[in-house]
A and B are shown apart, each in its own frame.
Chain A
């Protein structure tokens, strides 16, 4: 079984490095449970047919869940990383029950301040970007 190497200090981070691939669980069951948890009762988050009646391709993943996937990916890569800022743009709907892939690239390292900047993308199987954003995280020296 492969061992995933995690980052524990800023010296371990390389400029331009790709974070390990992360495939979020976008199943409708997860999406419905999440929508209920945060009180978002819209049918578009619960039912593919109802969402299609609203003109969507299927039930959609709430944007804040996509944002949560991005942060989870960062913590899988660097469990001790503290998120300082995360900014996301919801470019197109993330459709439940469809595979999506999250990528992250280190775009800046500030060792003096202990900060790393990461560009993040959620894409579907066709490679179409659905959500993108940037996070600034702090790591110990």
Chain B
């Protein structure tokens, strides 16, 4: 691994740099599910005994910032992908706490040069502190 990336990993990985609360509005999660084409009742019917937000709903939420304030600017970042890890159902009507940290930093080198990938992870917890899910946003930065 490149020395500068190793240095960034040591300085920034697993250091929480943002915290934000999110109200999970039942009307929003139902509409979200409908627009995605969901057909399972537990996402569409607020009276369903297992009513919950669709699994990828959390991927649409973002913290106040996606990178630490002192993270170096290599170039222009682009959205390279998203991942969600579901640990427990997200119940509409609840308020979540989201904490963000950098989960991974790595590079790939192509014909056009080195690209830096940064994975920002937003961890979601319910009011009781139960860890519900992780939402990863992967950015790729082509160096100037």
Interface-facing stretch out of A32-40, A41-49, A112-120 = A32-40
Would A68 and B32 be within 8 Å (CB), given that A25-B37, A38-B60, A86-B56 are in contact?
A: yes
Q: How far is the CA of A1 from the CA of B38 in the complex (A)?
A: 21
B109 within 8 A of A: no
Q: Within B64-82, which residues are at the interface with A (CB < 8 Å)?
A: 79-82
Would A85 and B80 be within 8 Å (CB), given that A68-B35, A72-B37, A72-B39 are in contact?
A: no
- Residues in chain B near residue A63, CB distance under 8 A: 79, 81-82
Q: How far is the CA of A75 from the CA of B60 in the complex (A)?
A: 19
CB distance from B24 to the nearest CB of A (A): 13
A88 within 8 A of B: yes
CB distance from A54 to the nearest CB of B (A): 13
- Residues in chain B near residue A86, CB distance under 8 A: 55-56, 83-84
Complex contact B83–A87 (CB within 8 A): yes
A97 within 8 A of B: no
A76 within 8 A of B: yes
CB distance from B95 to the nearest CB of A (A): 17
CB distance from A68 to the nearest CB of B (A): 3
Q: Within B29-49, which residues are at the interface with A (CB < 8 Å)?
A: 31-33, 35-40, 43
Size bracket of the A interface:
20 to 34
B5 within 8 A of A: no
B132 within 8 A of A: no
- Residues in chain A near residue B56, CB distance under 8 A: 64, 67-68, 71, 83, 86
Complex contact B35–A71 (CB within 8 A): no
Number of B positions contacting A (CB below 8 A): 26
Kindly identify which residue among A69, A76, A82 contacts B39, using a CB–CB cutoff of 8 Å: A76
A79 within 8 A of B: yes
Would A83 and B81 be within 8 Å (CB), given that A37-B31, A68-B32, A75-B38 are in contact?
A: no
B85 within 8 A of A: yes
B54 within 8 A of A: yes
Q: How far is the CA of A62 from the CA of B56 in the complex (A)?
A: 13
Taking A67-B59, A75-B43, A89-B138 as known contacts, 13 extra A-B pairs with beta carbons closer than 8 A to each other, sorted by chain A number, are A25-B37, A64-B59, A64-B60, A65-B36, A67-B56, A69-B36, A69-B37, A72-B39, A85-B86, A87-B81, A88-B82, A89-B80, A133-B81
* CB-defined A-B contacts under 8 Å, sample of 16: A37-B32, A64-B82, A67-B82, A68-B32, A71-B38, A71-B54, A71-B55, A71-B56, A73-B37, A75-B38, A75-B43, A83-B86, A84-B86, A85-B84, A89-B138, A90-B82
